């Protein structure tokens, strides 16, 4: 059962080998594994499973983190919030016992966005340049020359991005700056989503795809081009230094493995690597503004899911700070506490019986698909989501 309050469609992502398809893979954390990206591109109607992703792997499994970024939010519903990294690094995929039990005991699963949704159309709305405009026209000749050289090394062509906003190219370059993950198959969020789907949990998303992409499109053209140039500077600096320095992604991963949500946020909010005014503006759009929306929806879901247990997987950078999800939920009156030991999960009392579900959702006019008026597990939706 899939729950969405936007315009989610069931089915696989129709990813091709285009720049937009590649960006969509990257935005969802799928670009960490070229093999998985290829799998989606070559078999767009296939639904990858945990077993398929893990097939053929014989390496020794790493130890799970001792202090997982797992929180219990007590209210009308029991909500587990797991701060994730959108990566398939085996160290991140090793699931702590407390996380595993909380997930298995939950009735529903919510990711940042509904991963069953066809997001390519939503991405086109914000990523395409106006008709008649080209990316090359926005770039100085010297910058364009540098881009062509770097993209050639990456096996790509600038022509692929000509009809797209500069931020799409920036995102591609940032994937190279951050460093490749070392795992295979699906990233953490996707593995949780697929497991929830296979086991019959209610599944849904906390944001629409358009809302996730909006922070990038909100930048001015000048800001976008500036970020592209910064990314090239970072790549060239790494090449000049030689060796194998610790990548930004590895620093974030180490902080996550140590259970340090404050460090994860601090490292993540330096979006462009400079820590200046532009970085602060981007961090506000990517984290703070989205946190307000996500926390509000978490609270609404809790109130319409009385008596249920729900598991929500959201990027770990959204957790910490006075504008983080945890502080916002506490401000809404929820009790929030960190859970690290599986014994704490076992000690919780069973949830009471849920309220009576609402009747089947009627079709809504002027929409290609009915927009649900029911929330998780058939409970009534608040007006916010109707």
* 6 Cβ neighbours under 8 A, 6+ residues apart: 114, 117, 205, 208, 209, 371
Orientation angle between helical segments 166-178 and 141-153, nearest 10 degrees = 50
Per mean pLDDT, which range of 166-175, 248-257, 341-350, 352-361 is the poorest?
352-361
d(CA 306, CA 304): 6
Pairing of strands 78-84, 70-74: antiparallel
Per mean pLDDT, which range of 17-26, 130-139, 236-245 is the poorest?
17-26
Average pLDDT over residues 64-78: 96
* 34 Cβ neighbours under 8 A, 6+ residues apart: none
List % helix, strand, coil for the chain (3-state, nearest 5).
50, 10, 40
Question: What backbone phi and psi angles, to 5 degrees, belong to 16?
Answer: -115, -160
Q: Which residue has the tokens 């364009």?
A: 144
Does pLDDT of 28 surpass 80?
Answer: no
Check residue 184 and give its pLDDT: 65
Does pLDDT of 24 surpass 50?
Answer: no
Q: Which residue has the tokens 């989610």?
A: 8
How far the first Cα of the chain sits from its last, in Å, is 19
- Banded pLDDT at 273 (limits 50, 70, 90): low
Percent of the chain with pLDDT over 90: 48
- Banded pLDDT at 366 (limits 50, 70, 90): very low
- Banded pLDDT at 322 (limits 50, 70, 90): very high
Note the pTM of the prediction, 2 decimals: 0.76
Which comes out higher in pLDDT, residue 265 or 246? 265
Does pLDDT of 5 surpass 70?
Answer: no
Pairing of strands 335-338, 78-84: unpaired
Does pLDDT of 11 surpass 60?
Answer: no
Check residue 120 and give its pLDDT: 67
Average predicted confidence (pLDDT) for the chain: 77
Does pLDDT of 69 surpass 80?
Answer: yes
- Banded pLDDT at 138 (limits 50, 70, 90): very high
Closest to 213 in 3D by CA, of 92, 117, 145, 122: 122
Per mean pLDDT, which range of 103-117, 120-134, 344-358, 361-375 is the poorest?
361-375
* 108 Cβ neighbours under 8 A, 6+ residues apart: 3, 196, 201, 202, 203, 204, 305, 308, 309, 310, 311, 376, 377
Tell me the two tokens of residue 362.
Answer: 């009627």
* 224 Cβ neighbours under 8 A, 6+ residues apart: 165, 166, 167, 170
Tell me the two tokens of residue 5.
Answer: 């309050």
Pairing of strands 309-315, 70-74: unpaired
Order of strands across the sheet that contains 309-315: 2-3, 202-207, 108-113, 309-315, 78-84, 70-74, 335-338
Does pLDDT of 369 surpass 70?
Answer: no
Whether 107 and 201 have beta carbons less than 8 Å apart is answered as yes
Tell me the two tokens of residue 72.
Answer: 């219990």
Average pLDDT over residues 110-136: 82
Rounded-to-10 torsion of CA 285, 286, 291, 296: 70
Distance of CA 20 to CAs 61, 72, 115, 156, Å? 34, 37, 16, 13
Does pLDDT of 196 surpass 90?
Answer: yes
- Banded pLDDT at 174 (limits 50, 70, 90): confident
Question: By three-state DSSP, how is residue 377 classified?
Answer: helix
Does pLDDT of 367 surpass 60?
Answer: no
Which comes out higher in pLDDT, residue 59 or 334? 334
Run of H or E including 336: strand 335-338
Cα angle, residue 89 at apex, residues 41 and 25 outer, rounded to 5°: 25
Check residue 6 and give its pLDDT: 24
Which comes out higher in pLDDT, residue 171 or 257? 257
């Amino acid at each position: 059962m899939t729950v969405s309050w936007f315009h989610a469609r069931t089915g696989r992502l129709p990813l091709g080998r285009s720049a937009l398809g590649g960006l969509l893979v990257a935005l969802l954390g799928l670009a960490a594994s070229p093999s998985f990206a290829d799998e989606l591109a070559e078999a767009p109607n296939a639904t990858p499973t945990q077993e398929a992703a893990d097939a053929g792997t014989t390496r020794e499994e790493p130890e799970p983190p001792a202090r997982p970024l797992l929180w219990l939010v007590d209210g009308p519903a029991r909500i587990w919030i797991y701060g994730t990294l959108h990566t398939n690094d085996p160290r991140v995929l090793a699931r702590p016992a407390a996380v595993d039990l909380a997930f298995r005991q939950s009735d529903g699963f919510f990711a940042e966005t509904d991963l069953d949704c066809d997001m390519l159309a939503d991405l086109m709305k914000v990523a395409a340049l106006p008709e008649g405009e080209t990316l090359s026209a926005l770039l100085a000749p010297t910058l364009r020359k540098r881009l062509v050289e770097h993209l050639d090394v990456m096996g790509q062509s600038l022509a692929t991005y000509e009809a797209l906003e500069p931020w799409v190219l920036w995102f591609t370059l940032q994937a190279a700056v951050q460093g490749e993950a070392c795992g295979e198959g699906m990233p953490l969020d996707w593995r949780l989503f697929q497991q929830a789907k296979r086991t019959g949990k209610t599944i849904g998303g906390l944001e629409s795809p358009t809302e996730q992409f909006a922070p990038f499109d909100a930048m001015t053209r000048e800001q976008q081009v500036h970020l592209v140039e910064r990314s090239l500077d970072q790549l060239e600096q790494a090449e000049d230094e030689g060796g194998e320095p610790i990548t930004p992604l590895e620093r974030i991963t180490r902080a996550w493995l140590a259970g340090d949500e404050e460090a994860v946020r601090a490292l993540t909010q330096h979006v462009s690597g400079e820590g200046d005014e532009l970085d602060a503006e981007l961090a506000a759009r990517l984290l703070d503004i989205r946190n307000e929306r996500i926390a509000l929806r978490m609270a609404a879901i809790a109130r319409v899911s009385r008596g249920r247990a729900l598991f929500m997987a959201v990027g770990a950078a959204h957790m910490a700070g006075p504008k983080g999800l945890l502080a916002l939920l506490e401000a809404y009156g929820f009790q929030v506490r960190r859970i690290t030991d599986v014994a704490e999960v076992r000690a919780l009392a069973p949830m009471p019986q849920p309220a009576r579900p609402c009747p089947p959702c009627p079709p809504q006019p002027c929409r290609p698909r009915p927009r649900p008026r029911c929330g998780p597990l058939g409970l009534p939706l608040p007006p916010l989501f109707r």
